């Protein structure tokens, strides 16, 4: 070995290759710091697991007693419903806002900018409270000609139920964020694609639907998955409107039996399960879009 090492040092080994059976063994760099760090983290982790299992006040029996209870499952259903409906409103509204913002009409584009500024610039929590109390601002809502005749009038209290207030709050807020995601997706499509479509005699709407949006999807879909997962968790704020989604259902139970911590854990476990399922879906979605993206960009 030492002889070979000096051979290599002098550079002669390149001309006389060393036979493979005598090749030197490569020793990786030693990293003692890793072992120390890992040991420290493991000790802390063991402490956490120990306390979770031995502290009786976690009351795991209560956690699982309510885990599949009707009220918790109904709350979970409401949470999923809120998430999907609000996300649909957010995506549709976001697309409209993005197209408005990118349009050449200064009134439309500045209106979209103002909307995005307002809804991104105030806390969602405040917006939810606001929609919940809208009847204080507009006791009556009516349908009719602007500044003219009214055809029908409704009491805001009847029309804006906690559920309506919740999807309005979540959906309209989400639209502002989705608008920015869609705008960046649409802007990511090369100008040449639009020019080629126009040169072939395609109209604006056809070009948007057939050429620009399908290509913008590569950029839009991955962050939209993130938004969906975020929406699931943000929907817990709706508890403030006394709408029985997952968190508020748990709150209603512990308000009676005072088992606050176990019921918060019950709710959290369900949030974890759903976000895990969504994250797995998100992972595959991202991989799919990365692959077609990488494949297509490589030769362009």
Q: Does 288 bind another protein (CB under 8 A)?
A: no
Q: Does 120 bind another protein (CB under 8 A)?
A: no
Q: How many residues does the chain have?
A: 300
Q: Interface with another protein by CB under 8 A: which range of 18-26, 124-132, 169-177, 204-212?
A: 204-212
Whole-number Å distance between alpha carbons of 273 and 253: 21
Binding residue (CB under 8 A) for another protein from 12, 210, 283, 288: 210
- Tell me how crowded residue 259 is: count the other CB atoms within 10 A of its CB: 18
Q: Does 135 bind another protein (CB under 8 A)?
A: no
Binding residue (CB under 8 A) for another protein from 107, 145, 199, 256: 199
- Name the phi and psi angles at 147, rounded to 5: 60, 15
Q: Does 150 bind another protein (CB under 8 A)?
A: no
- Name the phi and psi angles at 199, rounded to 5: -65, -25
| Inter-residue long-range contacts of 122-125, CB under 8 Å, 24+ positions, other chains counted | 124/169, 124/170, 124/173, 124/234, 124/237, 125/237, 125/240
Residue span 154-193 as binding mask against another protein, x where in contact by CB under 8 A, dash where not: ------------------------------------x-xx
In angstroms, what is the minimal distance from the CB of 208 to another protein? Answer: 12
Select 7 or 286, whichever has its Cβ closest to another protein. 286
- Name the phi and psi angles at 260, rounded to 5: -60, -55
In angstroms, what is the minimal distance from the CB of 113 to another protein? Answer: 24
Whole-number Å distance between alpha carbons of 222 and 264: 30
Q: Does 276 bind another protein (CB under 8 A)?
A: no
Binding residue (CB under 8 A) for another protein from 204, 283, 288, 291: 204
Give percent helix, percent strand, percent coil of the chain, each to the nearest 5: 80, 5, 15
Q: Which residue has the tokens 């974890």?
A: 272
Task: Catalog residues that contact another protein under the rule CB under 8 A.
Answer: 190, 192-193, 195-204, 206, 210-211, 214-215, 295-300
């Amino acid at each position: 070995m030492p002889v070979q090492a000096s051979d290599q040092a002098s550079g002669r080994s390149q001309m006389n290759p060393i036979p493979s059976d005598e090749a030197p063994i490569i020793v990786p760099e030693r990293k003692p710091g890793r072992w120390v760090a890992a040991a420290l983290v493991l000790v802390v982790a063991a402490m956490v697991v120990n306390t979770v299992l031995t502290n009786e006040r976690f009351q795991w029996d209560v956690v699982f007693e309510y885990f599949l209870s009707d009220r918790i499952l109904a709350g979970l259903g409401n949470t999923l419903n809120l998430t999907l409906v609000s996300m649909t409103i957010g995506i549709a509204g976001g697309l409209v806002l993005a197209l408005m913002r990118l349009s050449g009409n200064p009134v439309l584009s500045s209106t979209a900018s103002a909307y995005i500024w307002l809804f991104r610039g105030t806390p969602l929590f405040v917006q939810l409270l606001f929609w919940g109390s809208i009847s204080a601002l507009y006791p009556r809502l009516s349908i009719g000609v602007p500044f003219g005749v009214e055809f029908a009038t409704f009491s805001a209290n009847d029309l804006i139920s906690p559920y309506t207030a919740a999807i309005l709050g979540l959906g309209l807020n989400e639209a502002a964020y989705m608008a920015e995601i869609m705008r960046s997706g649409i802007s990511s499509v090369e100008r040449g694609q639009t020019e080629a479509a126009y040169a072939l005699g395609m109209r604006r709407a056809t070009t948007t639907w057939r050429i620009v949006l399908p290509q913008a999807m590569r950029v839009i879909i991955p962050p939209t998955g993130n938004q969906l997962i975020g929406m699931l968790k943000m929907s817990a704020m709706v508890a403030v409107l006394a709408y029985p989604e997952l968190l508020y259902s748990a709150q209603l139970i512990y308000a009676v039996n005072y088992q606050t911590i176990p019921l918060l854990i019950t709710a959290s476990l369900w949030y974890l399960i759903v976000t895990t399922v969504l994250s797995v879906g998100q992972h595959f979605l991202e991989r799919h879009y990365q692959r077609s993206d990488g494949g297509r960009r490589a030769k362009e």
